[in-house]
Amino acid sequence: MPEGDILRRTATRLDEALAGRELERADLRWPTAATVDLVGRTVLGTVPYGKHLLTRFDDGRTLHTHLRMDGSWRIARTGSPGAAAGSPVVRAVLANRTWTAVGELLGMLDVLPTSQEHTLIGHLGPDILADDFESDGLPEVLRRWAERGSTPVCEVLLDQTVVAGIGTIYMAESQFLDHLWPWTPADQVPDPIRLLRVARALMQRSVRTPMPTSTGDVTRGRGSWVHSRRGEPCRRCGTPIRRGTARQPPQERPVFWCPRCQPAPTSTTV
């Protein structure tokens, strides 16, 4: 599932193509929004929040989209074959005279008053990539973290109601760099602030310079420390990377870790 860094990059691309321009084409192929007319509206900009995108218009409305597992927004020059958007996987098309944004396999789509955005994202924790995360977001994350008690830290990091934007990649990478066993109870993590700052720093770096995340890239020696590297040697100690699971079905997520660099407490197995 795309994580907060990808959403930041996507929002930037959408702004470069759409912000400040009037829509000449708007096609929302979604049952609850199929009759919504956005033609003639000017795009004010797209704001990412965690794993959500909020595209705002000059009439006080917002298009909310979520990529879920497979969704994406791509940009094509208006009038080019890529802007035709004839594929059955297309869920949204926003176009001005120069650029066309095509949303494919989107997992969520809503149009609502901008003033009501909180009804869709208000339950989320602070966005880990927000500019004010250190000053305003971090104290709230720590409060919510404390409420999770002995829940495994890998699951707390994935809980979007605690902190928004972290997924399986940066959950695994931050725990590795912090030498933390993924199933450590949240209330026994020595320094949650340090762990969160590690995750934030990794994601900020990815926003600036995208990190390869496919298994193919990783096995060619690029990319992550542990994520998607099951059976491969740890880049620090050479121990084979292991794969476990966070959460219970059907919400389970993969967890990658090095059993030597991130040792479990004695007599504990996964």
Using alpha carbons, list the distances in angstroms from residue 121 to 48, 50, 110: 11, 9, 12
Whether 253 is catalytic is yes
- Catalytic-role residue among 8, 41, 51, 229: 51
**Are the CB atoms for 57 and 73 separated by under 8 Å?**
no
Whether 9 is catalytic is no
- Catalytic-role residue among 243, 253, 254, 259: 253
- Catalytic-role residue among 2, 48, 126, 182: 2
- CA neighbor of 174 nearest in space, from 195, 155, 154: 195
- Catalytic-role residue among 3, 117, 155, 173: 3
Query: With b meaning 16 or more CB within 10 Å and e meaning fewer, what string describes 95-117?
Result: bbeebbbbbbebebbbbeeeeeb
Whether 143 is catalytic is no
d(C-alpha 119, C-alpha 48), whole Å? 16
**Are the CB atoms for 36 and 66 separated by under 8 Å?**
no
Q: Work out the angle at residue 72's Cα, subtended by the Cα atoms of residues 209 and 247, and round it to the nearest 5 degrees.
A: 85
Whether 220 is catalytic is no
Q: Quick one: tokens of 63?
A: 């298009």
Active site (catalytic) residues: 2-3, 51, 253
